[in-house]
Amino acid sequence: MSRTLTYREALREGLDEELARDPNVVIMGEEVAQYNGAYKVTEGLWKKWGDKRIVDTPISEAGFIGMGIGASMLGVRPVMELMFWSFHSVAFDQLVNNAACVRYMSGGLINCPIVMRGPANGGTNVGATHSHIPEGLFAAFPGLKVCAPATPADAKGLIKAAIRDNDPVYFMENTRLYGMTGEVPDPTDGDFVIPLGVADLKREGKDVSIIGHGRSIIHALEAAETLKEKHGIDADVLDLRSIRPLDVEAILKSVMKTNRVVLVDESKGFGGVSAMVSHLIQDKAFDYLDAPIKRVTTMDAPAIYSQHIEDEQLPNPRRIVEKVLTLG
């Protein structure tokens, strides 16, 4: 059996189950406890679990993120909420030097079982500083793992896997998805965990592979319906879900079937997840390509504020359809 939950509720259910499973799991961040979460992901958890397990921190990302990393070295399993992933910049040293490198620099003596989670998206009329989309950035640091779920079920299954992982996992959510609903398996049917490193074919087609992660997948699915109805093009829509580790096999399988690829990425065009995926495809499946690999990325400027055109800067179903049609 499954129920319909919002993405936010599914995440919360995953967090709640992990809090119950392991007494060393602790949730920390700005407004996560008494305020019930800036985006209400942690709503009710403080009331249920109390001060020790759900901890409000001051607005002090370098301090509390670093504190979580230090605690994780001792065996605590902190789940740190960044109110926006955009705030990574003030904790960058902690995120990329301490969490990512301490295992390596210690010759494998230390590991950091920590999760950093929060929304990482544009499209909320808040301007450039609050609209960074850094999954590609962090996936570029060996030692880190990154995932970005698109649906409520994936959000729940992946957050549980992230918390159980013994390496640092940077978990990128999306405020535009928090209210989105979807089917999520009932807890009474067993422990629902989706491992990192496994992509999910969200729609099966034969003519073109649309590959992305996070909210791009929701757009891709909508675009795929338009392509089918208006243009007779049947698209595979592959949701990477996990950026690092990356399910390269699933990417190649889809490409080898359709021979055409459009990558959708809410990051900018220079570098990033889609650039990496594009490289992997040309490297490993060059002979299967009937057309150049195309991308739909966020238009290459800092995120604009204006609500009138913001969604045009980001990938959207219209831009995806147009890009697929250029493949001929």
Residues that bind another protein (CB under 8 A): 24, 26, 52, 57-58, 60, 62-76, 93-94, 97-98, 102-111, 113, 142-143, 145, 161, 165-167, 195-198, 242, 244-248, 276, 283
- The CB-side HSE value for 146 (13 A sphere, CA atoms) comes to 26
CB of 185 to another protein, least distance (A): 20
Q: How far apart are CA 289 and CA 293, in angstroms?
A: 8
Contact (CB, 8 A) for 117 and 173: yes
Q: What token pair was written down for 120?
A: 């990482």
- Residue 69 or 314: the one with the smaller Cβ distance to another protein is 69
CB of 115 to another protein, least distance (A): 14
Phi, psi of 239 (to 5 degrees): -95, 115
Q: What token pair was written down for 173?
A: 């959510």
- Residue 122 or 272: the one with the smaller Cβ distance to another protein is 272
Catalytic residue among 61, 81, 266, 310: 61
Q: How far apart are CA 207 and CA 218, in angstroms?
A: 19
Catalytic (active site) residue 130 = yes
Q: Which amino acid is at 311?
A: D
- The CB-side HSE value for 179 (13 A sphere, CA atoms) comes to 2
CB of 206 to another protein, least distance (A): 25
CB of 90 to another protein, least distance (A): 8
Q: Which residue has the tokens 């679990």?
A: 49
- Residue 10 or 162: the one with the smaller Cβ distance to another protein is 162
Neighbours of 108 (CB within 10 A): 8
CB of 292 to another protein, least distance (A): 20
Catalytic residue among 88, 130, 213, 219: 130
Q: Which residues pair with 296 in a beta bridge?
A: 264
Which is nearest to 267 in space by CA: 235, 240, 237?
240
Catalytic (active site) residue 219 = no
CB of 157 to another protein, least distance (A): 13
Phi, psi of 23 (to 5 degrees): -65, -10
Q: How far apart are CA 240 and CA 222, in angstroms?
A: 17
CB of 253 to another protein, least distance (A): 14
Furthest-apart CA pair in the chain: how many Å? 59
What is the phi-psi region of residue 36: left when phi exceeds 0, alpha when psi lies from -120 to 50, beta otherwise? left
The residues, any chain, with a CB within 8 Å of residue 89's CB and separated by 6 or more, are 132
Q: What token pair was written down for 124?
A: 């909320």
Q: Which positions are catalytic? A: 61, 130
